[in-house]
Amino acid sequence: MFEVCLETIFITGTAGSGKSHLTSKIVQWYKDNSYYPVSLNLDPGVISLPYEPDVDVRNYIDIDNIMSEHGLGPNGALIMAADMIATKLDEIQEEVYNLNPDFVIVDTPGQIELFIFRASGPYFVSNFQSDNKINIFTFDGILASTSPINFISIALLATSVRLRLNISQIDVMTKRDLVIDKLQDIIRWSSRSYLEDSLHNEKNVEHSILSKDLLQALHKNKLMQNPILISSLTMSGMVNLTAALSRVLNLGEEKGD
């Protein structure tokens, strides 16, 4: 058993939603504010990253070797690699523990279905030893801002992730700088009544009715969050995000207080 004293922040979301860029910015923010964070890359199939991982699952799992040894194509190798992550938990845990960080920021695989909806991902999250854990779910701002139905669809996925991981979760909408013209709509969609009105105006009546039913269910069960708007380019929204992380992880108290 490891004796750890750290906070763990998992970052999940669909492929292309900005998980890796957000990982790099959160790490940098904590460094700039006199903490010691480390980054953990859990994507064995990623080729390049916008940061240098302090701990990297690719040191334990090699996609090319899996393909050659088992005669698998890229998709089959990614599935096997995702399942193998859980078997490397102890080695990864020890490597993180030896670094003795304040925070570990975990960049999860791009293929969310392989990490969230197979057994290995929730197993890793559940058994990774940490004082506190939280998940940040990334809404792709470009996709979510195109229509209220897309907004609801991603909110439903965020809820599925929360139920699968069973830890605290904060939702963020990335790429704020790329959806400036849609910001007012996104902010208004945080209001249930405005979002319902927007859904009522959708052309596809069947999809509109289904989306409103889903919205009501999410609100009834208090599963609907207002995502924090983030730009990994300009760092806009980072203060709001880190304040929310502090509230959840430390009940609003800074580490060391």
SS3 86: helix
Q: Which strands form 132-139's sheet, in the order they lie side by side?
A: 55-56, 37-41, 103-107, 7-13, 132-139, 168-173, 228-229
pLDDT (tens place) for every residue of the chain, 257 residues total = 445 468 999 999 999 999 999 999 999 999 999 999 999 999 999 999 999 999 999 999 999 999 999 999 988 999 999 999 999 999 999 999 999 999 999 999 988 999 999 999 999 999 999 999 999 999 999 988 888 888 888 999 999 999 999 999 999 999 999 888 888 888 877 777 778 777 777 777 787 788 878 888 887 877 778 899 999 888 899 999 999 999 998 774 555 54
Which positions ≥6 away from 23 have C-beta within 8 Å?
A: 11, 39, 51, 105, 106, 107
Kindly calculate the radius of gyration of the chain based on its CA atoms and give it in whole angstroms: 19
According to DSSP, residue 256 is labeled T
Alpha-carbon span 129 to 3, nearest angstrom: 8
Q: Which domains are seen in the chain, by residue range?
A: 7-250 (3.40.50.300)
